[in-house]
Structure 1
Amino acid sequence: MPPVPSSTPVAAGPPLALVDLPSDSLAPTRSAGVAPGRLASRALAPLLLLGAWQLASATGFVAREVLPPPTDVAAAYGELISTGELQEALPVSLARSLVGLALGGGTGLVLGLCAGLWRRGEELFDAPLQMLRTVPFIAMIPLFIIWFGIGEGAKIALIYAATIFPVYLNTYAGVRGVDPKLIEAARVFDLAPRGIALRVILPTALPSILVGLRYSAGVALLALVAAEQINARSGIGYILINANVNQRADIIIAGIILYALLGILIDIIMRAVERLALPWRGKLVLA
C-alpha cells in the first residue's frame, strides 16, 4: 500500500538568488593581442605571392623587363635609401595626404552634422553634395590646375575634394540612424536639444563617423597617387615620374608597393583610433 503523503507543509526555503555572472562573461571578447598563429596565417598569402613572383621571374615565365623579381625591387629600395630619395619623399607625400584628409574630413564632418541635426542644413547641403559626389575627383584635375596652378595647392585641393564625401555620408547616416527612443528618453530627463546632440546623438553616431573617416583615409591615398602626377617636384610621385622616364620598372613597382604599405599603415592607425574612441564595442567573430 503506497504511503500517504504528509499534510504537514514543507517549510519554504530562502528565495532563489540570481547567479551573479561577471559582466565580461556576456560581453563580446576582445583579444589581448595578436597570436603568433594569426600572424602566420596573415603572412602566408603574401609570402606565397612573393614566392610565385620570384619563381616566375627565375624560370623565365615572366620577363624581368616586364615584371622585375622581388630581389630587384628590394635592390631598388636599397638604392633609393642610399641616395636619400626615399627619406625625402615619404614625409612630403604623407604631409600632402594628411593635410588634405584633415581639411576634407573636417568639412565632411561639419556638413554631415549640419545636415543630420537640422532640417535647414539638410535642405541647404544634402542635394548639392549628393550631386557633387558622383563626379570623379580625377575629372577635377584640369579645373584645379586652372584655379590653383601646378603647385601644392592643386594637389591638396584634389585630396580635399576626394575625402569630403565619405565622411559626410557616414556622418549624416549615423546621425539620422539614431534610435528615436533614445531621443525620447533624453527628453523625458529634460535634456536640452544641445545636450541631446552631445550626450545621445554624437556618441551613438560615432561608430559610423569613424567608418567614414577610415574610408576617407584610404581615398586620400588614392587621390595622392593622382595628385602627385601634377608636375610633382617631390614625393613618391616624383620618384615614379623619374623612374618612368628612365624606364626603371623596378623603381616603379617599389613605389607602387610603397603606396600600398602606406595604406596598410594608415588603416592600422585608424583601427587603433577606433579602439580608443569606442572601448565599449567588442570584437564579435564567428570562429
Structure 2
Amino acid sequence: MGLVLPILVLVIWQTLSTNGSFSPTQLPQPGDIVLAAVELINRGTLLGHVAISAQRVLIGFLIGALLGIFLGSIVGLSKIAGRLLYPTVGALRAVPSLAWVPLLLIWMGIYEEPKITLIAIGAFFPVFTTVASGFKAVDRNLIEVGRSYGLRGAQLVTQILLPAASPTIFSGIRLGLAQAWLFLVAAELIASSKGLGFLLLDSQNTARTDILFLSIILLAILGKTSDWLVGLLEKRVLRWV
C-alpha cells in the first residue's frame, strides 16, 4: 500500500513534465533525475556528498539526543529543575534554525563544528521535550508500587520510570532524528563544499534542476531509512509493549 502514492506521484510527474505544463528547467522528467545521479556517480562525487551529510547528521544527532535525554530526564524527574529549565528551553526552541547560523560562524568559524552544532541543536529540542513529558506522564501508582518493593533512586528510575517512559522516549528520538535532517540543509549552507545541502544550493545557482530534485529525493530516502532503522531498534527494545 505504501508504494501506491509514490507510483501515482511518478505518473503525474511524468505527465506534467512531458505535456508542456512545465519547461524542462522547471520540472525535469523522472528519467532525467536518474541520469543526473549516474552523471554524479561517474564523476565520483555523489557518494561523497551523501557520506558527509550522513556523517554530520549522525554526529550532530547523537550529541543533541544524548543531551536531550540527560536534561529531559532531570526535568521530568525534578519539579524544581522543570521550573528552572523549561521556560528558557521553550523560548530557545522557538528560535528559527537559520537564526543560529551567524552566531555559530562567529563562535566556531566555517568548518565542521558549526554545522554539527546546528544539527545537534535541531535534534536536542524534540528529544528534550518528549523525554521530560514521558517521565512526567508515568503513572504515579507504578512509582508507589516500586517504592513499596524498596526501590529508591537509580533503581526506581531504571526499573520503573525508564521502562514506563520508553515508548515516549523513542518517539522523541525519532522526532529528533527527523529534525536533524531538517537542520542539515541549513547547516550545509555554512561555507560548505560538500554535502546534499551544498548540492541543493549549487544546483540552484547552476540551474541544474535535475540535480536539485535528486538532492531532495536523496534527503527523503536517507531520512526515511534512518527512521526505519530506529523503528527496528524500538521494536527490538520494546518487545514487551
- TM-score of the superposition, structure 2-length normalised? 0.96
The aligned residue for residue 87 of structure 2 is 127
Identity of aligned residues (%): 36
Which of residues 78, 83, 102 is equivalent to 2:38? Answer: 78
Cα deviation, 1:67-120, whole Å, max 9, x if unaligned, reads 111011111011111111111111100010111100011111000111111233
Match runs of 1:168-187 below 5 Å: 168-187=128-147
Paired with 1:176 and 1:240, the residues of 2 have a C-alpha distance of 41
Is residue 91 of structure 1 aligned with residue 67 of structure 2? no
Paired with 2:83 and 2:25, the residues of 1 have a C-alpha distance of 56
SS of residue matched to 1:42: coil
The aligned residue for residue 235 of structure 2 is 275
Q: How far did residue 127 of structure 1 move?
A: 2.2
The aligned residue for residue 127 of structure 2 is 167
Paired with 2:4 and 2:76, the residues of 1 have a C-alpha distance of 44
Which deviates more from structure 2 when the two are superposed, residues 195-204 or residues 132-141?
A: 132-141
CA RMSD of aligned residues (A): 1.2
Paired with 1:81 and 1:238, the residues of 2 have a C-alpha distance of 16
Match runs of 1:1-287 below 5 Å: 41-281=1-241
Report how many residues are paired: 241
Which deviates more from structure 2 when the two are superposed, residues 100-109 or residues 118-127?
A: 118-127
Paired with 1:185 and 1:219, the residues of 2 have a C-alpha distance of 37
Q: How far did residue 245 of structure 1 move?
A: 2.7
Letter paired with 1:151: Y
Which structure has the larger Rg over C-alpha atoms?
1
Paired with 2:140 and 2:206, the residues of 1 have a C-alpha distance of 61
Gaps of 5+ in 1: 1-40, 282-287
Which structure has more helix as a fraction of its residues?
2
